Structure 1
């Protein structure tokens, strides 16, 4: 009797083991939540901690990543850090960059793939004092126009082409620093400014909004896509469930940040207090307008607009003569499947 009972127990154990083995294809999320272990994910930012990236900081603070079984590490960027290289080489798992920059590396053979488009609109402006008389882009003729270059100039070049302005003959393009001092001091007539950062610095310096003219790349029809999330294609294909869970948590953080940008700005300020609380809050409010423009459904945060991607590729191809080949826009380079899974 004992032998039969032992055999029965053994059979049950073996069947259980077999069933467990058959269930090994269940999501990593289930396995992670059952064991309580968190999977490490490193997110590489394009720049220093600021409200430009508030959705990730909010998601981390509110525990959304932990809820998805993720131990997130947010790596700050800087002038000497290239997100594309860090992600490709495995220093980070997921990165934030501008689409034009990503396309440049893709065209050089880097197997990188966009998985979400966080900024739906361009944040780039050309700002000038009204005294400069630049009431439209046509008035840039004969002026000194500043830009940071390094890939940030393509929208400006597209704008000049739209108005048949030769960048060599009709005006002077000059290197811009990371302040707005050149414009304030009058050494340039127009300067590049992100809606969420440099334009705010102008206002904070005491210059009134009504004393400025701005040229908006979106309104001019020459906008290029900026902040997106991207991955090493091979790593993502081997960690699909992890990528989806990362996106779920990130989108929750972004939705909260867009809903309450003042709170989000305060969250980012506490990270390293590199700029004033007021500026972080200003930045958060402006970033919210890019992530979720008026009339945009917050359930679609991160959606990839293929038409906008193609416009970015077309402008990049025209003005970046160093591209090894034209940007490719298909599922190998811009993959919406992770976004669809995360938002269904």
Structure 2
């Protein structure tokens, strides 16, 4: 009798201890696991950027600086990109878990059978411009006939191709397309008549050179109806299937960072500058202000940052096919583009 009472008492004590310590009580799929909270251990996530650290990616730097990833149980490492780094390869090969790339580029690798999935669309508008000096006499795209036009190529030329065809210009005979470097010196020196420029970077370099808006003529790809979507978030499909909760937590922290960055781009630019002083603080702040206009365009709800607009995705795919980036129509399905993780990350 005494032995049974002692055994029962031990069982009660063990049960209480299990409840207090939470052993076996929290499933691995909740927002931040009990084990992570109690041990302080964070889940490692690596993000591969498309380019060098700059305000183009400010939302991730803000989220990291403010501790939003840690709040979600994540230890985030941000890998800089460069001309010799292909985000799709980095993610597909497991060097990075999540990547930033342009939608058209992602579609190219998806069409080759790479198991990559877009999970969030950060830029809602194209940042691509074609810029000329007002003195050049280029007032409309039709005026490009007989001119030298700069392009970075390497996947950046397809909006220009679409612009030319929309204005009944043949890219191989009506004008001369010229390899453009990543400065705006060719335009400034008169070596080319029109240059490619991103709203958040190269256009600012022209203004910093002393030119005014009134000194320039700008063709905006969105206004011309030939825009292709740019910065998106993508993952290896198999990694996402194994880590759905981790991906949702990453998106939730990232969206919070982007919301704060878009609301206060001056502060966001300073955070990026402190992280990597590759360009001036003034230029990082300029970039941040312009990037905010792409992430949260006029009339767009900041709560929907990362929203995937299927119609804009389709336009990008159609243009990519028409002008030779793709050899077959882009497959737009749950396997290639999905909002399910974004929807969980943004649900109340």
Q: TM-score of the superposition, structure 2-length normalised?
A: 0.95
Number of positions where the alignment pairs a residue of Structure 1 with one of Structure 2:
343
> Does structure 1 retain, via aligned residues, the 8 Å contact 2:27–2:33?
no
SS in 2 for 1:206: coil
C-alpha distance in structure 2 between counterparts of 1:26 and 1:337, whole Å: 15
Match of 2:332 among 329, 336, 341: 329
| CA distance in 1 between partners of 2:258 and 2:59 (Å) | 4
SS in 2 for 1:24: coil
More helix by share: 1
Quote the Cα distance in structure 1 between the aligned partners of 2:176 and 2:134. Answer: 19
- Whole-Å Cα distance in 2 between the matches of residues 135 and 91 of structure 1? 46
2:150 paired with 1:137: no
| Distance in 2 (alpha carbons) for counterparts of 1:183 and 1:2 | 95
Structure 2 residue ranges without an equivalent (≥5): none
Aligned match for 1:27, one of 5, 30, 36: 30
| 1:138-153 equivalent positions in 2, closer than 5 A | 138-153=142-157
Q: CA deviation at 1:6?
A: 3.8
Aligned residue in 2 for 1:93 = 97
Give the Cα–Cα distance (whole angstroms) in 2 for the partners of residues 133 and 4 of structure 1. Answer: 99
- Cα separation, 2, equivalents of 1:68 and 1:145: 47
Match of 2:214 in 1: 210
State the superposition RMSD in angstroms.
1.7
Q: TM-score, normalised by structure 1?
A: 0.96
For residue 36 of structure 1, the aligned residue among 19, 37, 40 is 40
| CA-to-aligned-CA distance 1:277-305 (integer Å, 9 cap, x gap) | 00000000000000000111000000000
Residue among 56, 62, 75 paired with 1:71: 75
1:81 aligns with 2:79: no
Alignment of 1:5-24 (within 5 A): 5-9=5-9, 11-12=11-12, 13=14, 21=24, 23-24=26-27
SS at match of 2:168: coil
Say if 1:108 and 1:324, in contact at 8 Å, map to a contact too. no
Would you say 1:312 and 2:306 are equivalent positions? no
Map of 1:115-194 to 2, 5 A cutoff?
Answer: 115-194=119-198
Aligned to 1:102: 106
Contact 1:258–1:288 (CA<8 Å) still a contact in 2? yes
Q: CA deviation at 1:16?
A: 8.3
Where does 1:218-229 land on structure 2 (aligned, <5 Å)?
218-229=222-233
**Alignment partner, residue 3 of structure 1:** 3
Whether 1:291 aligns to 2:295 is yes
Structure 1 pair 53–26 and aligned structure 2 pair: CA distance change class (3 A) = closer
The partner residue of 1:54 within 45, 52, 58 is 58
* 1:284-332 CA distance string (max 9 Å, x none): 00000000001110000000000000000000011125x4532111111
Deviation of residue 73 (structure 1)?
A: 0.4
Query: Could you say what secondary structure the match of 2:229 adopts?
Result: coil
